[in-house]
Structure 1
Amino acid sequence: MKYKLEWKYKLKGKEPVSFTSDWLEGDHALSTGEALESSGKAIDISFADEIGTSWSIKEMKKLLSEIEEEPHNLTVFFDGGFERESNQAGLGAIVYYQQGKKKYRLRANQLIEELDTNNEAEYAAFYFALNLLEELDVHHLPCDFKGDSQVVLKQLEGEWPCYEETLNRWLDRIEEKMKKLGIHPRYIPIERKLNKEADKLATQALEGKSIYSKMQIL
């Protein structure tokens, strides 16, 4: 989660001037706010997060101490591969996140049956990724979802209509899960070549190779 620092600067004999910072990491925003407060020239110091909530310096200190050990700064890659002959789908997902001062990557895949189309496999992969977030106990945070399926991302964003009943059921399931977790999504379409890791996981699932691994990264 990133924050914008907002404050007013006191000028002798004049009205205070308002300032807003760029988006900052939590620790950077807090230390800057504390420095402004100690200067004695800044008033009405507050912090606004990416989902529109405002925090005072005292509230910000408490917030950062509480989320220090929870997963945050989330980015999810997903991909689904469909095998028409068997009506099977391979689902792949990678979750990049931060916990404390450390960064992690979770890679997982799954094989499921009785799907009808590649688009349905992509929806199933997205839902699979949400289940991984739930296992990590992610809640009430922004999250970037990246995939090469324009259909899924644009329909989830509401830019493209969805007329297929099967896909609408997946949309409903995803929106219900998103609401339950309190996730604030950002949908980011990417080129297929940038989604190779998730694509490989989906292919490995179709090949019968089950993968679930979590590791610390630099």
Structure 2
Amino acid sequence: MNVRIELTYKTPKRTETQFISDEMPAGQALLIAEDLEKTGRAKTITFIDRTERTWNIKELKQYMKGIETEPHNIIIYFDGGFDHDTKRSGLGCAIYYDQSGKSFRLRKNAQVDQLDSNNEAEYAALHFALKELELLGVHHLPVTIIGDSQVVINQLDGEWPCLEEELSNWADRIEHKMKEMGIQTEYAVVSRKSNREADRLATQALQDIEITSTSEVN
């Protein structure tokens, strides 16, 4: 989770002013806040997350301690592929996360029918990734979503309109799932080369190669 620090600073001569920091990871914000507390000049220190929820130092410490044993620092890579000849779609996702002081990577793919385009397969792949995230028990956490589909990323991020009914239905389904899980999302569009892991998983699904694995990573 990223937060901003808002504090009231008081000089020895009792002159007061307020500061608001740039956004930073919560752990880093806590270290800075604790250092400021030692000066004895920080009258009040408040943390503000992306939903504008406010936290004090004690509350943020409890939150950080609570997520140590749960998946956090989550990044999703997703990709979907569509075969026009067979009308089959391949869905792939790679989910990176930290848990109990270690880092993990979950890789999963699936083959599905009844989709009509590559864009629809891309949406379906992200929905597939969110369901895997739900199985990990992730809720009320920030999640970074990365893909090479400008259509999906820009439509979900509100940059592009979603005019096709089928894609609009997928967008609604995904947004409902995110709201249900309480996750806050940050999107990034990357090149296909930078998304090659998810792309390969989607391609393998179309080749009837099923992948399900979780491994520790450095």
TM-score range for the pair, normalised by the shorter chain length: over 0.9
Alignment correspondent of 2:16:
16
- Call closer, same or farther: CA 1:51–1:216 in 2, change over 3 Å: farther
Residue 45 (structure 2) pairs with residue 45 (structure 1): yes
In structure 2, how many angstroms separate the alpha carbons of the residues matched to 1:138 and 1:112? Answer: 25
The alpha-carbon deviation at position 216 of structure 1 amounts to 1.4
Counterpart mapping for 1:203-214 below 5 A = 203-214=203-214
Structure 2 gap ranges (5+): none
| Higher mean C-alpha displacement, 151-160 vs 2-11 | 2-11
The alpha-carbon deviation at position 18 of structure 1 amounts to 2.3
In structure 1, how many angstroms separate the alpha carbons of the residues matched to 2:86 and 2:12? Answer: 76
So what's the TM-score if we normalise by structure 2?
Answer: 0.93
State the identity as a percent. 49
The alpha-carbon deviation at position 52 of structure 1 amounts to 2.1
The alpha-carbon deviation at position 22 of structure 1 amounts to 4.0
- Call closer, same or farther: CA 1:160–1:25 in 2, change over 3 Å: closer
In structure 2, how many angstroms separate the alpha carbons of the residues matched to 1:157 and 1:3? Answer: 20
Structure 1 gap ranges (5+): none
User: 3-state DSSP class of the match of 1:159?
Assistant: coil
Deviation per CA, 1:170-217, whole angstroms, max 9, x where unpaired? 112111111101111122111111111100000000111111111111
Alignment correspondent of 1:108:
108
- Call closer, same or farther: CA 1:180–1:18 in 2, change over 3 Å: same
In structure 2, how many angstroms separate the alpha carbons of the residues matched to 1:15 and 1:217? Answer: 50
Alignment correspondent of 1:217:
217
- Given that 1:78 and 1:146 are in contact with CA atoms closer than 8 Å, whether structure 2 keeps it comes out as yes
In structure 2, how many angstroms separate the alpha carbons of the residues matched to 1:158 and 1:22? Answer: 24
The alpha-carbon deviation at position 97 of structure 1 amounts to 1.2
In structure 1, how many angstroms separate the alpha carbons of the residues matched to 2:166 and 2:60? Answer: 44
- Given that 1:78 and 1:93 are in contact with CA atoms closer than 8 Å, whether structure 2 keeps it comes out as yes
User: 3-state DSSP class of the match of 2:108?
Assistant: strand
Counterpart mapping for 1:56-67 below 5 A = 56-67=56-67
User: 3-state DSSP class of the match of 2:51?
Assistant: coil
User: 3-state DSSP class of the match of 1:153?
Assistant: helix
- Given that 1:108 and 1:212 are in contact with CA atoms closer than 8 Å, whether structure 2 keeps it comes out as yes
Alignment correspondent of 1:76:
76
In structure 1, how many angstroms separate the alpha carbons of the residues matched to 2:27 and 2:187? Answer: 26
How many residues in Structure 1 have an aligned counterpart in Structure 2?
Answer: 218
In structure 2, how many angstroms separate the alpha carbons of the residues matched to 1:107 and 1:18? Answer: 46
Residue 199 (structure 2) pairs with residue 199 (structure 1): yes
Alignment correspondent of 2:87:
87
Counterpart mapping for 1:108-127 below 5 A = 108-127=108-127
So what's the TM-score if we normalise by structure 1?
Answer: 0.93
Alignment correspondent of 2:30:
30
Deviation per CA, 1:88-131, whole angstroms, max 9, x where unpaired? 10000011111232211111100001211111111110110111
The alpha-carbon deviation at position 26 of structure 1 amounts to 3.0
Residue 140 (structure 2) pairs with residue 140 (structure 1): yes
In structure 2, how many angstroms separate the alpha carbons of the residues matched to 1:24 and 1:156? Answer: 24
Residue 199 (structure 2) pairs with residue 163 (structure 1): no
User: 3-state DSSP class of the match of 2:116?
Assistant: coil
| Higher mean C-alpha displacement, 31-40 vs 91-100 | 31-40
